[in-house]
Amino acid sequence: MAAALSEALDEAPLSRFHSRAIVTAGLGFFTDAYDLFIIGTASGLIAKEWHLSTSATSFSYSVGLINSITLISAFLGAFIFGRIADKFGRKKIYGLEAALMVFGALASAFAPNVLLLVIFRFILGIGVGGDYPVSAVLMSEFSNRRSRGRLVALVFSMQALGTISGYIAGLSLLSTGMNEDYVWRIILALGAVPAAVVLYLRRKMPESPRYRARVQGQADLAVADIAAYSEGVIRASADGEQRSRLSLRQFLTNRRYLLWLIGTAGTWFVFDYAYYGNGVSAPLIYASVLHTTKGTEPIALALIVFAIAAVPGYYLAAHFMDRIGHRLLQMIGFFFMGLAFLLIGVIPNVTTTVAPFLVLFGFSYFFAEFGPNTTTFVLPAEIFPTSARTTGHGIAAGVAKVGAFIGVFLLPVIKTDFGVAGAMRLFAAFSLVGLLLTFLLPEPAGKSLDEASGESDVVLAAERITRAAPEPTG
């Protein structure tokens, strides 16, 4: 039965099977981060070559549009891939999003003008967005109960390595003295390399056993797949079939899930507004604080701050979140991240004095990772039912990328009109909103996926409604 398989997965010891799943899913997030954040470095070089404007009035040719277009298409990708994965299975589309990333990265590198660059980055973003719900949910559904938060967080932590790799690639190529017109094309093209590896690895992964057993009613195949992929570590009885599927209407009209959807999408939206606004435009922010126009100095400083402050936050979050609680960790992160932004925004001359700014900005980075950047990814992969899990995660991730798009597109304008301090005060307000919205969410740490989502009760209720409905006539 599906319940027996779920129990076997929930209680399975950590093994090489889990490590394989982390690497396969995590490489996608390495690629996502590289592609999303490297554009902040590339766009400065593109602006010089094509004489672009950072003004909002020059919308079609603005640096803000180039930086943010991938995020708005990620909104579409998360919605589309999230729903398709619940309708037809995770395995059938797992790899298609990676193929879009390969094409988008290579095509962007050879773009002859701004219009085609924007189009190719848009295609790339659809693949990036599609990777969020499918990777998160697959890792969640492969995980055991005790370590689920840590395993899903380790997948997401590959974002840190992808971001660092982008900074290193930009610095290395700029340091060679190569023509800058070639540098930005090479660093964009490099995003296709890990995406191609992802495409290869993901075709070897099995379908989610929980999805196959509970939604497709193929418990025997689910057991065989997972036993083979885990090399016999995970086994379960499959003495029957159990189908349970929530329609999109049932999912969206269920009061509990709708409330959780508002909580996950809302917290992720306000976080991504601040995080991507800062992250993608980091070279611009650091250049303002350093009072420099040199291309390498802001990138080097961004790399140093991210490596020292942000990277430990990812891995400490993964290590402690199952002990602290996923919901509580998100609240802690929002509070201290918002506090750091507020201090930058209200203390006089902080944004013009390098040392105090770096301390507070680094503090905000640490609690972004040791908090909502990790938990907003993990929570939607846990609290929705199997038949709507990628749909729920996709909606939350898609709404988040709208916030990211707005943050990245507007930050150059806000910085020009209100300064870095003004932007940070706005980020502090968004952090407070995120903290308050987190109260809408349950605490799934230490619970099985069935317990965290309340799936059994909701499915039974939906089945009772279906059976009670009158037969159609005519």
**Residue 213 burial (C-beta neighbours within 10 Å; 0-12, 13-18, 19+):** buried
d(CA 41, CA 46): 9
- List C-alpha distances in Å: 451 to 35, 182, 455: 36, 53, 7
Separation of alpha carbons 196 and 210, rounded Å: 27
Residues contacting residue 174 through CB under 8 Å, at least 6 positions apart = 180, 183, 295, 296, 299
Is the separation of the CB atoms in 209 and 232 below 8 Å?
no
Task: Please choose, from the candidates 384, 381, 136, the residue with its C-alpha nearest in 3D space to the C-alpha of residue 252.
Answer: 384
Tokens 């023509």 appear where? 179
DSSP per residue over 241-298, as a string? -------HHHHHH-HHHHHHHHHHHHHHHHHHHHHHHHHHTHHHHHHHHHT---SHHH
C-alpha span between 380 and 396 (Å, rounded):
7
Distance separating alpha carbons of residues 379 and 389, to the nearest angstrom = 11
Give the CA distances from residue 382 to residues 72, 145, 164, 453, in Å, rounded to whole numbers and listed in that order: 25, 10, 28, 7
Give the 3-state secondary structure percentages of the chain, helix then strand then coil, rounded to 5.
80, 0, 20
Q: Which domains does the chain have, with CATH numbers?
A: 2-463 (1.20.1250.20)
Across the strands, what pairs with 53? 62
Below-70 pLDDT ranges, the chain: 1-2, 53-62, 229-244, 281, 293-295, 456-474
The dihedral formed by the CA atoms of 125, 59, 67 and 185, expressed in degrees to the nearest 10: 90
Instruction: Please give the pLDDT value at position 244.
Output: 67
What CA–CA distance (Å, rounded) separates 94 from 127?
11
Copy the structure tokens of residue 160.
Answer: 């840190």
In this predicted structure, what is the pLDDT of residue 291? 75
Q: Report the Cα 205 to chain-centroid distance in Å.
A: 20
Please report how many Cα atoms fall inside a 13 Å half-sphere around the Cα of residue 86, on the Cβ side.
26
Q: What confidence tens digit (pLDDT) does each residue in 200-221 have?
A: 888 888 888 889 888 888 878 8
